[in-house]
């Protein structure tokens, strides 16, 4: 087959590409920056992230190597007791599910995965019934499924949690940079984020934020270390257990943090039609697929991100990536690190995911659909 002049990246739910040119430049500048500038660059990254999420307390924002690492830290450091309950959706990524499973094995914490309904991604009645037991410490949910692209009712889940004295955690990996994620407006107590997806940053950067009322019980939080950049006098004023392990102590991935700052700046400078393009292209693709192969679509008819997933027969699923790659298109086929979600939508063997982003062209959806039609012919 002839060489294609450009690659159509249709796996934005996995990682953004191509990244804005300022991202690589910012990372390079950080690598050669004189060390006395490091703190200012680090603070600029904190400020940019805080603005993105409506955070008014950047001091409670911690940068990590990924969203997965952030989830492991946060979930591991809350003050769990045997018999506590964590409620999630059934559409969660393994990055959230596995730490919760570890809590069950090691600390006797119970996990309730609220199922889908016939018309939506989560049964709020199941969530409410669990909360009525009085044992739920945390409700945790992804902003959108990384498998189906369906948006979850985050504000409603947060309100339900708070009405019963539970905390709410938002995994924003699939929605940050694509949809508003203001922690104050949504009622979020704990936020985790990934830098390399919708925020247009590089790999190797993520983080979390915790509201001031959230207490932690990490052993490291009882040590005498000061938070990053603090002197002994400030350290003495920090309440033990007020933050998980003072996770910002020591070096951070400054080039990745600066790349994320640049990605966020690029995104903020884009007009509304560019920022909304992933939603427009995905809606068009789902409309065309629904008209021709309605049984292939996974998920309901509610609001989605830029991702669309299709149930394919195993032989087609096995060769889908190669088929699209031969036509200059990058997609993702497989389990997507979310077997619980795939089981919930009736595709335990995996699915084909097509995900658009703000760097796609207006006509990319036509090229992708034509390649899909060839695969299914």
Domains of the chain, first to last: 8-18+270-376 (3.90.1150.10), 21-268 (3.40.640.10)
Reply yes or no on whether the pLDDT at 27 is more than 70: yes
Instruction: Indicate whether 322 pLDDT > 80.
Output: yes
Token pair belonging to 348 = 């335990």
Which carries the bigger pLDDT value, residue 212 or residue 296?
Answer: 296
pLDDT level of residue 102 (50, 70, 90 thresholds): very high
In this prediction, residue 5 has a pLDDT band, given cuts at 50, 70 and 90, of low
Mean pLDDT, to the nearest integer, of 322-328? 97
Q: What is the mean pLDDT of the chain?
A: 91
Residue 15 pLDDT > 60: yes
Report the range of poorest mean pLDDT among 19-23, 176-180, 238-242, 259-263: 238-242
pLDDT attached to residue 244: 58
pLDDT (tens digit, 9 = 90+) per residue, 214-260?
A: 988 765 444 433 444 444 333 433 444 555 544 554 578 999 999 99
């Amino acid at each position: 087959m002839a060489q294609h002049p450009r690659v159509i990246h249709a796996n934005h739910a996995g990682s953004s590409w191509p990244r804005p040119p300022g991202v690589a430049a910012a990372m390079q500048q950080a690598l050669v920056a004189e060390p006395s500038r490091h703190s200012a660059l680090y603070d600029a990254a904190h400020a940019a992230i805080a603005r993105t999420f409506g955070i008014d307390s950047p001091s409670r924002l911690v940068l990590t190597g990924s969203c997965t690492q952030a989830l492991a830290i946060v979930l591991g450091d809350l003050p769990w007791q045997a018999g506590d309950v964590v409620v999630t959706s059934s559409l969660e990524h393994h990055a959230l599910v596995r730490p919760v499973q570890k809590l069950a094995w090691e600390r006797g914490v119970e996990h309730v995965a609220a199922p889908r309904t016939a018309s939506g991604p989560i049964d709020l009645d199941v969530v409410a019934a669990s909360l009525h037991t009085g044992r739920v410490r945390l409700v945790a949910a992804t902003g959108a499924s990384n498998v189906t692209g369906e948006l979850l009712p985050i504000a409603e889940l947060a309100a339900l949690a708070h009405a019963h004295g539970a905390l709410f955690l938002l995994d924003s990996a699939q929605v940050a940079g694509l949809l508003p994620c203001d922690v104050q407006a949504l009622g979020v107590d704990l936020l985790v984020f990934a830098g390399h997806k919708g925020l247009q940053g590089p790999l190797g950067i993520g983080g979390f934020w915790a509201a001031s009322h959230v207490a932690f019980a990490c052993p490291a939080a009882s040590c005498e270390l000061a938070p990053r950049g603090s002197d002994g006098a400030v350290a003495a004023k920090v309440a033990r257990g007020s933050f998980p392990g003072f996770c910002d102590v020591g070096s951070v991935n400054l080039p990745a943090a600066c790349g994320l700052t640049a990605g966020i700046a690029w995104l903020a400078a884009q007009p509304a039609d560019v920022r909304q393009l992933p939603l427009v292209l995905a809606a068009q693709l789902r409309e065309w697929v629904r008209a021709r192969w309605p049984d292939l679509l996974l998920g309901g008819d509610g609001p989605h991100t830029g991702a669309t997933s299709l149930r394919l027969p195993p032989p087609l699923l096995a060769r889908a990536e190669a088929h699209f790659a031969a036509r200059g298109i990058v997609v993702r086929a497989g389990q997507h690190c979310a077997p619980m979600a795939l089981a919930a939508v009736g595709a335990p063997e995996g699915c084909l995911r097509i995900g658009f982003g703000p760097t796609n062209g207006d006509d990319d959806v036509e090229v992708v659909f034509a390649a899909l039609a060839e695969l299914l012919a």
